[in-house]
Structure 1
Amino acid sequence: MNKKVTVLLSVCLASSMVACSSQGGTTPETNKSAAGSSNEPITLKFASWSISEAATKDALEQMASTYTSLKPNVKIEFIGIPFGNIKEQTFVMASSGDAPDVIQTFTASFPTYATSDIIAPLDELLGKDYVNDLLPSYKDDYSYQGKLMGVPWAASPYVLYWNKELFKKAGLEAKPPKTYDEMLEAARKIAKLKTDSGEAVYGLGEPTDKLPINGMIFLKTLYSFGGSIFDANGKVNLNTPEATSAYKYYQTLTNENLTPQSAKLKDLRNLFSIGRLGMYVDGYYGKAVFRSLSGKGEAYDNVWEAALVPAGNSSGKSVSIGEAHGLVISKDSKHKQEAADFIKFLTDKDMMLLYHQKSDVVSARKSISSLPEFNTSPFDKVLNEQMSIVKALPKNNPGLEQSYLDMADAVLKVTLAKETPEKTAADIDAKLKQALK
């Protein structure tokens, strides 16, 4: 278990970032709760991986500084925990009676929190108006048994990234593919290229390593082929022609060497950043990563563009999934209302605009995501257009995170072990019927 890194932020930092807004802006009045209106000193412990990462640390520190300047009796104590360890460590902390008040989580691992007994329902703490302002698909992704159990914070749809330079070298038109068939044809042409030093160039990357997030991303492909985990009666049914077609797509990518084997998302991001990958699907994180890993900074923005996920052959429409870094409140927190007020502050217009400007995050609140400030660049517009056509993930279930892992394993079997798509669909159908009862 990795050692926690704790960062204490001063409670008295002055801030010039406070702005007034009729669209949920940051003011002392809009963020003062009945429970937090006294001057009683309060410490909110916030477990987060973003506070330990260079790309997001500055934004979070500025947010906390602004909040404590508005509410001087509140101290924000960040507990930095790496992304890969945060679920395990916060559950251990909760079992020992030392749970943080606020915990950062992620869509693929949230089902384990939602179905546990360590977090609190949020509907009453946040209020009806706030809850109703959440985009429906993201609200569903962070609910369990009709209750909102987490807040989608840094939201993102999955969009297609494509390398304009590789398209040009491959003799392709300077425009993104509109359908899966067009995407495969473009990938085949790009995969014939080599780098100047003779290294392979891949046409189209899909994450296929055995990780829960990759099982979640598989749903994007399943939906695009007209499939679903559940049938019309709400029963698991993955042994279908649509699921088989989705697995055939993955097998085509590997059989024709269009995608790297057993890739994680970070592998695809790296390959795209160094000009060895023509296309792949990812969240908003791409731009900052490409700038860093390419070594070219903002100049690398001229190499790539983002586009809607290509339309599936069956539906004829772009369909994607969304994810979000989420925020939950510990059941044992002694300051639940104050923690809820802090979450409302972090997801308010001004703080989301700060986060958006620094990291390209998208708001999951209807009243904010549509504002002009969040739609200034072509990249912004693609993200927000895709946000309007994402499909909700399966309802949270005690077995959902394990099911994501099983779905990732199924993709690995059809690509690496060369199982037939038909057998893979039948096997995963049987597993999920046990896991998602």
Structure 2
Amino acid sequence: MKMKKTAYLTLSAVLLVGALTACGSNSDKSQEASATADAGKSGDPIKLTFASWSISEAATKGALEEMVKNYEAKNPNVKIEFVGIPFSDIKQQTFVMASTGNAPDIIQTFPAWFGSYAASDIITPLDDLMGKAYVDDLMPSFKEDFSYNGKLMGVPWAPTPYILYYNKEIFKKAGLPDKAPATMDELLKDAKLISNLKTDSGQKIYGFGEPTDKLAINGEIAMRNLYSFGGSILGSDGKVNANTPQMVSTLNYYKGLVKDGVGPSGAKLKDLRNLFSIGQLGMYVDGNYGKAVFRNLSGKGEAFDQVWGAAPIPAGATGKSVSIGEAHGLVISADSKHKQAAADFIKYLTDKDAISIYHKQNDVISARKSLSSMFTESEFDKVLMQQMNNIQPLPKNHPGMEQAYIDMADALLKVSTDTATPEKAAEELDAKLKTSLK
């Protein structure tokens, strides 16, 4: 199934607007040589455009700018031009850009929508461009997340497991010890205590939040909870089977959070991050982005690090800590005139020097097996690596996977807003997934 670029021609030209920021990075000698060769016999400089939401976010902007500055210093014939596009808009805008022949050379993408890119004709396979040694060095689960029909179509960048964050000050206010809950039953008990609290200005404090707005990322995140109840959206035969007791239990869990006043209804992930940062949410689950985001949103900078703690996901109904892993992906446009130079830049972004910069500023880890030993210095690193050993893979890429995640998020929203029972929502979801994933 191919997603033709012409399908996006009717979208508004407003979508083509992106903030362009010239920045820079570092690389090794082999990358320099390849990039130089790609410049052609004329010796003309190469300009690579890089569409990214991370360059538009305060928490990650500085690290990306430093990486690119180092790269350009080592590769003076290569210039990296950022195209800053918000996370919520980047897929749609880059498809529109591709439809008019203006696709960026490199595009940052995300697992929830990666199937849309992989099944389209706007990106190029990467096995040959990246080389066998590099491809074999990728962790299998993350490599699979960015493969399609047996080909590597994207490179996993900045991988993370989902972990639990808790606010120590709120725990103290609720009379709880400075210790994360070990089980989901303990978490819900603690969350109910916290949800009775108010801030000094009288605002409600939620105990624990899950994102339930109708967005693909929220459906993807919900896989973690479905796995914790021992469920899946697919049966043992690989076919859709979502109307199960495990799915009903998962939806009941979401319903209970709102019904019991433990968590907000219809929240986006960014809403939970903000509530946590301003002291109105005791616990929530997120990737390793937490530290930098909290510092910015709280307005307290590094001082806010004393306020929060991190821990593996509490054990669920299966008796095990279960998480999903996700990674930002990097893809290369099929229309790029400098594919090898783009591949070399991606190698740099995922190599030791660049990941060290990203890790120092944003706690980013690596999807490369050869770099896994880098992340053992801090307690936060140890939590991330402990959870990395307890990750269950996302469903295999499919052209309809993004819609499937949206369908799942819709079911979460319905039960949390009490517009459908968990049983009815599971039945409706099963029917939708059988269409989305046929």
TM bin (shorter chain): over 0.9
Letter in 1 for 2:249: S
Give 2:380's aligned residue: 379
Deviation at 1:30, TM superposition (A): 5.4
Secondary structure, aligned partner of 1:316: coil
What's the CA shift string for 1:222-276, capped at 9, x where partnerless? 0111001111110111111111111111111111010011111111111111111
Q: What is the aligned counterpart of 1:7 among 16, 21, 45?
A: 21
Secondary structure, aligned partner of 2:156: strand
Q: What is the aligned counterpart of 2:359 among 346, 356, 380?
A: 356
Between the two proteins, the alignment pairs up a number of residues equal to 421
Q: Is the 8 A contact 1:33 1:337 kept in 2?
A: yes
Q: Which moved more, 1:342-351 or 1:298-307?
A: 298-307
Secondary structure, aligned partner of 1:45: strand
Give 1:36's aligned residue: 38
Deviation at 1:27, TM superposition (A): 2.6
Matches within 5 A, 1:164-313: 164-313=168-317
Distance 1:301 1:413 in 2: 36
Q: What is the aligned counterpart of 2:127 among 119, 123, 132?
A: 123
Distance 2:292 2:23 in 1: 25
Q: Is the 8 A contact 2:39 2:46 kept in 1?
A: no
What's the CA shift string for 1:343-395, capped at 9, x where partnerless? 00110011001011111112111111322xx2211111111221222111111
Deviation at 1:436, TM superposition (A): 0.4
Give 2:7's aligned residue: none
Deviation at 1:40, TM superposition (A): 4.4
Distance 1:333 1:194 in 2: 54
Distance 1:87 1:37 in 2: 29
Q: Scaled by the length of structure 2, what TM-score is found?
A: 0.92
Matches within 5 A, 1:379-418: 379-418=380-419
Deviation at 1:91, TM superposition (A): 0.8
Distance 1:430 1:370 in 2: 44
Distance 1:149 1:27 in 2: 24
What's the CA shift string for 1:259-312, capped at 9, x where partnerless? 011111111111111111111001112111212222222121111101101111
Letter in 2 for 1:4: G
Deviation at 1:157, TM superposition (A): 1.1
Distance 1:52 1:419 in 2: 38
Structure 1: 5+ residue stretches without partners? 19-25
Distance 1:398 1:366 in 2: 28
What's the CA shift string for 1:407-428, capped at 9, x where partnerless? 0000001110342211111110
Distance 1:414 1:75 in 2: 49
Q: Is the 8 A contact 2:59 2:296 kept in 1?
A: no
Give 1:97's aligned residue: 101
Secondary structure, aligned partner of 2:89: helix
Does residue 136 of the first structure (1) align with residue 140 of the second (2)? yes
Secondary structure, aligned partner of 2:347: helix
Deviation at 1:169, TM superposition (A): 2.1
Structure 2: 5+ residue stretches without partners? 1-13
Q: Is the 8 A contact 1:32 1:341 kept in 2?
A: no
Q: What is the aligned counterpart of 2:150 among 124, 146, 149?
A: 146
Q: Is the 8 A contact 1:31 1:345 kept in 2?
A: no
Structure 1: which 4+ aligned runs deviate by more than 6 Å? none
Matches within 5 A, 1:105-116: 105-116=109-120
Secondary structure, aligned partner of 1:83: coil
Give 2:75's aligned residue: 71
Give 1:347's aligned residue: 350
Q: Is the 8 A contact 1:50 1:56 kept in 2?
A: yes
What's the CA shift string for 1:135-191, capped at 9, x where partnerless? 122111111111111011121111000112222222223211111111111111111
Q: Is the 8 A contact 2:31 2:344 kept in 1?
A: no
Give 1:330's aligned residue: 333
Distance 2:301 2:82 in 1: 29
Give 2:428's aligned residue: 427
Distance 1:244 1:252 in 2: 12
Q: Is the 8 A contact 1:115 1:396 kept in 2?
A: no
Distance 1:29 1:122 in 2: 18
Q: Which moved more, 1:256-265 or 1:355-364?
A: 355-364
Distance 2:380 2:350 in 1: 21
Secondary structure, aligned partner of 1:121: coil
State the identity as a percent: 64
Q: Is the 8 A contact 1:138 1:364 kept in 2?
A: yes
Deviation at 1:37, TM superposition (A): 8.0
Letter in 2 for 1:48: S
Letter in 2 for 1:319: V
Q: Scaled by the length of structure 1, what TM-score is found?
A: 0.92
